[in-house]
Amino acid sequence: MVNGRILAVGSDAQVQGYVGPSTKVVDLQGRLAVPGLIDSHAHFIGGGFQLLEIDLKNARSEAEFIRRIAEKAKTLAPGRWLLGGNWDEQAWASAKLPTRGMIDAVTETNPVFLSRYDGHAALANSLALKLAGVTRATPDPVGGVIVRDPETGEPTGIIKDAAQDLVTKVIPPPTEAEMTEALRAALQEAARVGLTSVQNITVDDDSWNRSFTGELQLLRRAELEGWLTCRFYEIIPLARWERLRDAGLSRDMGDDYIKLGAVKAFADGSLGSATAWMFEPFADDPANRGIPLPLMNPLAKMQALASGADRAQIQLCIHAIGDRAIAEILDMYVRLGGGNAAAHRFRIEHAQHLRAQDFARFGKLGIVVSMQPYHAIDDGRWAEKRLGHERLRWSYAWRSMLDAGAPLAFGSDWPVAPLDPILGIYAAVTRATLDGKYPEGWFPEQRLTVGEALRAYTQGSAYAAFEENEKGSIAPGKLGDVVVISDDLFAIPPAKIKDARVVMTIVGGKIVYQAE
């Protein structure tokens, strides 16, 4: 490598002529080297904050949930917000949503806002609801739900999707020092797990202008100061697309480390929060088909924003999880792109639960499907309760997507799921759910090969961001991003993939992580 790019690729004998007196030679001792891994969908700064805040994902009971919150609250000054979360009630024997009554006694002097692991629901304590002015009389906002006690009508503390904004708007924004600490923590984690590029979904709330500007300035400062060890493709809220247009930015613009030119919006919620927008009701809630989120009320609102962004050559990335949401966004992409939709590289983020007839449309239209394989082995523990076995045949269906000819990009959705792409490859190859019930794979016909999964984390994700000429493979002229893995993922048993570790991460020809 020279000047941050790959100079030549070949055998020891073929590249020996490039070795000079100042060349650094690294002997990988036969270990597997792969192109720099690319996460197509992460909330990077949020993940960094989660590393610094309370993490409740592996709290396996209500009692442990309460205990951890109580311990964290004791470390905070009165009035300081207790943030973080990542909780999952499906891991508890009761599988019941938590309530503010569970935590009020241990958080009397600290407002609390704890996100569910999918980000589509959160738990607020009574103090947080009071500060936000949320009472029994507060109506559900469009695209959101305030969960209420069926007997009293009082808020339980659980707020879903757009209703979360009622509380988040009163949470003080992080300071510059806190943002810097979170970014440093996230960069260290990315280097540790072999990520050299991230397609980063930025925050979408009332504080967007301040928070995004601060985030972009922070990334730029890190780049100029030399500690930005990962490349970023920034994806901003669709509602702010005019900011990109007015700045003269379109897709594939920026430098090797920071690019802008894509926007994201939500069509619906999530399966776990029962807000994914479905054609048919949920099996465990016959009165509920999920909800379209605010920009889909009416659909013309979403299409007007998307059309403006597309005309400005800004890439569209739309979150759609339920089959109704996915079908509506596919219809919209047909209207926007006509017979040339593939050239726009329209994206659907997640694309988890489909009707069988919609796979062919992904392939025909060339819609980039940005999926997160770890969700399948996590959600597979409980998803059949919500949708039933037969409907799930077309869920998290990577094989069907590839067979239909759809461009497939893999990511993590961190901090919703672990950032580690090796765990994502393991999930895609085995589909072995975390509860151990499906060691041979949950709907095993949707499994991928190691090569297919690795391509989705490299070439596929590069293509998803118009960067296939710069990244995604080890080839002369491309960016010098390489990851070395402890084991040959192609040779070891699939069940052992999760135990493999990154031993070296190289970004732009510089070693940014090396295992001890």
- The per-residue DSSP string of 313-340 comes to TPEEEEEE-SHHHHHHHHHHHHHHHGGG
Q: For residue 211, what pLDDT is reported?
A: 55
Q: Which residues of 122-150 are buried (b: 16+ CB within 10 A; e: fewer)?
A: bbbbbbbbeebebeeebebbebbbbbeee
**Would you say residue 103 lies in a domain?**
yes
pLDDT score, position 61: 95
- Count: domains in the chain: 1
Mean pLDDT for the stretch of residues 448-476: 97
Of all residues in the chain, the percent with pLDDT exceeding 90 is: 84
Residue 422 sits at φ, ψ, to 5 deg, of -65, -35
Q: Is residue 120 a part of any domain in this protein?
A: yes
Q: Give the tokens for residue 168.
A: 């988040």
**Residue tagged 């508890």 (tokens):** 92
Least confident of 181-190, 209-218, 399-408: 209-218
Question: HEC profile for 2-18?
Answer: ECCECCCCCCHHHHHHH
What is residue 515's three-state secondary structure? coil
Q: Is 418 left (phi over 0), alpha (psi -120 to 50) or beta?
A: beta
List, in order, residues 6 or more apart from 207 with CB less than 8 Å away: 169, 173
Give just the sign of the alpha carbon dihedral 88, 93, 96, 102.
Answer: negative
Pick from 26-30, 126-130, 436-440: least confident: 26-30
Q: How far apart are the first and last CA of the chain?
A: 24
Report yes or no: 509 and 474 within 8 Å, Cβ to Cβ: no
Q: For position 129, which CATH number holds?
A: 3.10.310.70
Q: Are 362 and 401 in contact (CB under 8 A)?
A: yes
Residue-wise pLDDT tens digits, 68-77: 999 999 999 9
Nearest-angstrom CA–CA distance, 68 and 117: 16
Q: Is residue 145 part of a domain?
A: yes
**Angle, alpha carbons 85-117-393 (nearest 5°):** 170
User: Which residues are within 8 A (CB) of 421 and not within 5 positions of it... i.e. 6 or more apart?
Assistant: 37, 39, 193, 194, 195, 410, 412, 457
Average pLDDT, the chain: 94
Task: Tell me if the pTM is above 0.75.
Answer: yes
Do residues 373 and 427 make contact, with C-beta atoms less than 8 angstroms apart? Answer: yes
Looking at the DSSP assignment, which residues form a beta bridge with residue 112? 82
Q: What is the pLDDT of residues 167-182, one digit of tens each?
A: 999 999 888 888 999 9
- In a domain? residue 502: no
Which residue range is the domain that position 134 belongs to? 48-168
Instruction: Give residue 41's identity as a one-letter amino acid code.
Output: H
pLDDT in tens, 134-159: 999 999 999 999 999 999 999 999 99
**Predicted pLDDT at 252:** 74
Give how far the C-alpha of residue 195 lies from the chain's centroid of Cα atoms, to the nearest Å: 14
pLDDT attached to residue 219 = 94
Token output for 348 = 């659907």
Distance CA 124, CA 396 (A): 31
pLDDT tens digits, one per residue of 346-405: 999 999 999 999 999 999 999 999 999 999 999 999 999 999 999 999 999 999 999 999
Residue 142 lies in a domain: yes
pLDDT at position 117, please? 87
Q: How far apart are CA 345 and CA 366, in angstroms?
A: 7
**134, amino acid identity:** V
**What one-character DSSP code corresponds to residue 256?**
S
Region of residue 30 (phi > 0: left; psi between -120 and 50: alpha; otherwise: beta): left
pLDDT tier for residue 204 given thresholds of 50, 70 and 90? low
Domain membership of residue 88 (yes or no) is yes
Strand order across the 482-485 sheet? 32-35, 482-485, 502-507, 510-514
What residues contact residue 337 under an 8 Å CB cut-off, 6+ apart?
310, 343, 344, 346, 365
CA angle 220, 83, 225 (to 5 degrees): 15
For tokens 């949503």, name the residue. Answer: 97
Contact, 323 vs 279, CB < 8 A? yes
Stretch (H or E) spanning 426: helix 421-430
| Residue 318 belongs to a domain | no
Give residue 296's pLDDT: 94
* Cβ proximity of 109 and 126 under 8 Å: no
How many Cβ atoms sit within 10 Å of the Cβ of residue 440?
9
Task: Specify the pLDDT at position 173.
Answer: 85
For 497, residues 6+ apart whose C-beta sits below 8 A from its C-beta are 422, 425, 426, 429, 430, 450, 487, 489
Q: Give how far Cα 315 sits from Cα of 37, 319, 345, 367, 368, Å.
A: 21, 13, 7, 12, 11
Q: Is residue 77 part of a domain?
A: yes
In the 8-state DSSP scheme, what is residue 203?
P
Q: How confident is the model at residue 208 (pLDDT cuts 50, 70, 90)?
A: very low
What's the token pair of residue 162?
């757009």
